[in-house]
Structures are given as C-alpha cells and as structure tokens.
Amino acid sequence: MHLFLQLILLGSFISFNNADEIDVNGYLAYCPCMGRFGNQADHFLGALAFSKALNRTLILPPWVEYRKGEIRSRQVPFDTYFQVEPLQEYHRVILMADFMQRIAPQVWPEDKRVSFCYMERKTLAPNKASKPDCHAKDGNPFGPFWDTYNISFVDSVFYSPLNFDIHHRAMATKWQEKFPASEWPVIPFTGAPASFPVQMENRELQRYLRWSPIYDEMRHTFIKNKLPIGAFIGLHLRNGIDWVRACEHVRDSQQLFASPQCLGYNNERGSIYFELCLPSKELIIRQIKRLIKSVKQSNPKNEIRSIFVAADANHMITELNTALSRMNVSTYRLDNDDPHLDLAILGMANHFVGNCVSSFSAFVKRERDVKGLPSYFWAFPKEKERHVRAHEEL
C-alpha cells in the first residue's frame, strides 16, 4: 500500500513538472536559412529580441552549415558553440531537440503544424500545382533543416503586412492580437523573424551569446600554447573569390552587408568605397605597422608580440612575417580551419582589425564592444581622411 501511494505521488509530480514546463505564452521557431554563420548570428539577435517582445519562448535552432562536397546542409546543435544558460538571463529559450522531444507532443500535434511566411513562396517543383503556400521545405537548407526534427507542415499562414520591427511601432501587440498563443501555441517561420544586418537596437544582445565551455577552453589553450607571451592583434581578412565578386557591387551601393557597423545605419559616417570591402595587401601592411607603433608608443609595457589571422582564403602569413620581421612580431593561424574557433580567438585579442562589410567581422566587433576591447576596420576612415585628422590633432 505504501509503495502504491509513492507511485501515485511520483506520477503526480512528473505530471506537474511536465505541465509546468509548457509555456502558455507560446513558442517561436524559425529556420536560419539565409547565409552562413555571420548572417545567421545577426538574425539570431533579432529573433531573440522579437521573441521577447512577443513574450514567446524562443526555440533555439541549430546552426546551418555547408560542407565542401556535400549536397545537403548540416544542422549543428545550437549549444555546440554557445551556452544556453546566459540567454535565459534575457528571455526564455529552449533547444530545438528538447522542445521536439518534451513539449511538441503536448502542444504541437503533427496535424496542427502550419508554417508562417510573409507571402507565398514559389515552389521549386515545376509540376507541383497547389494553392498558395509557404513551401517551407522546398530546397536546401529548408528541407534538411525541418527534416532533422521530422517536422512537416499541413498548411501555411501569410502574415503580411506585419513585420519584425518591434522597436519603433506597436508591432508586438499586433502580432499578439492576430496570433494569440491560445490558438497558435507555436509560430514556425520559414526564415528568421529579423532583419539583416542586425538592427542597431539589438546589437547589445551579443552580451548573452557566450561561447560553449569546449570553445572557451580551445581558444585559451591556443593562445597559451601557440602565441608568444605578450599582447597580440587579431586580424580578419576577406579575400576569397566570392568576396571579390561581392565587392564589385560597392560601386552601386550606399551600404553593403554589415557596413552600417562602421558607416552608421544612416550613412552618418560616410558611404561605402571599394577598399573598405577589399583592402589591398599594401594597405593592410601599412595599417598593421601603424597600429603596432601606436600601441608601443601608448603602452610600451604591453607592446604587440604576435598577430593571429583568420581568413576565408589567403591568410597572408608569409607577407606579414616578411613585412614585420624588423618589428619582432610573428604571425599565426589555426593549423586546421575552424571558423568558430577563429571567432572565439579574435574576440580575446588585445586589438582587432576586421572588415567593415563582413558579418563575420561584425560578430567579433559586437563581442568586443560588450567587453570594452578596442576594434578597428580596414581602410576606415580613408587614409586621406586619417592624415587630415592626424594633422589637425597636431
């Protein structure tokens, strides 16, 4: 009899805990289906702000990655790179795998799964005639993303004319009124509910995005074991063929990709120019030499001893070592490419120089801003403007 009573109490406790886990305010899910990590990180901060404004738990999506030679994208669990707990200091979050295993069976049955998109998304299947639909799983990475969690949709909802700018209008209230959690416990978007580049108001949310223990340990280990004792500069170079082609659009643009991070969101600090996107090797070397000299003059006890380079193609190791040989500064990179470890190390550099147009550099800049660490951009301000400013200061 005593054992029977214990089993009843245990069952009641489990039922209570499961019920307590469910967020009656609803959940928000999305596919981070635009671009690579830098773009996805920008979108994540916007989605985090959006979910808080709607007071819905954010389902943390895996990061979408593309491996050379593989046709389908890979989905890497969110907590591979970042901790979950710090995000909860800002708002409620849950890993997608945990949600699908523990919560979805209770609040999101398969026959109620409806995808959300702004307007009809055309299908990639030319002979597939159907009513207007989000076609949420058409193409890569859309299909592989949702398939990772065995999610399919029975219908679509178009949310036009609503948008994601919750900072300048009563937009959150409009979403809550049109899609109450009582009727729509889960809102799954075909793409991120956020703008690119990240809105200025959401940049500060970077403080809640902290590296996972394994990446935090790896970056400390690399710096301790590979770099000489002393201060180091972190560099990010974009010079791959895809980037070179992207920079050709500079001539027709006022802004490009993440350029608002240095030019301002309203071009209050100037318009984009080619070298801001693709600095020459000569400019890179000149700027590094100036920075090393400047640090030595301002803080002789903490002068630069090494440089760490992250790049998508040419790391310029030979060129930099040759140019800096007389300054007793050596240059390093990872032995094996790991862009996330690159980011983590760059975030710890004493000084950082990145590409104003790159969202990869933007991630580092935001992390360093939160820590109060100095960052600079290639070719910004323009060298002529820099000389004028220096002359005026004299």
CA gap 321, 329 in Å, rounded: 7
Q: In the sheet where 351-354 sits, what is the strand order?
A: 330-332, 304-311, 231-237, 351-354, 375-377
Q: Which residues of 168-180 are buried (b: 16+ CB within 10 A; e: fewer)?
A: eeebbeebbeebe
Residue 337: both structure tokens together: 């490419």
CA gap 382, 283 in Å, rounded: 11
**pTM greater than 0.75 (yes/no):** yes
**Of the candidates 319, 341, 343, the residue with the CA atom closest to the CA atom of residue 331:** 319
CA gap 44, 62 in Å, rounded: 11
pLDDT, tens digit (0-9, with 9 covering 90-100), for 170-214: 999 999 999 999 999 999 999 999 999 999 999 999 999 999 999
* Rounded to 5°, angle at Cα 100 from 20 and 176: 65
Q: Which domains does the chain have, with CATH numbers?
A: 21-201 (3.40.50.11340), 212-393 (3.40.50.11350)
Name the more confident of 93 and 129: 93
**Of the candidates 324, 375, 323, the residue with the CA atom closest to the CA atom of residue 349:** 375
CA gap 150, 144 in Å, rounded: 10
Beta bridge partners of 155: 114
Q: What is the pLDDT averaged over residues 123-140? A: 82
CA 197 and chain centroid, separation = 10
pLDDT, tens digit (0-9, with 9 covering 90-100), for 286-315: 999 999 999 999 988 889 999 999 999 999
Residue 151: both structure tokens together: 């999610």
Cis peptide before 185 (omega within 30 of 0): no
Helix axes 339-346, 213-226, angle to 10 degrees: 70
Rounded to 5 degrees, φ, ψ at 11 are -65, -40
How large is the C-alpha radius of gyration of the chain? 24
pLDDT, tens digit (0-9, with 9 covering 90-100), for 89-112: 999 999 999 999 999 999 999 999
Q: Is 72 helix (H, G, I), strand (E, B) or coil?
A: coil
Residue 278: both structure tokens together: 């693709």
44: left (phi over 0), alpha (psi -120 to 50) or beta: alpha
H or E element that contains 334? none
For position 90, what pLDDT does the model report? Answer: 98
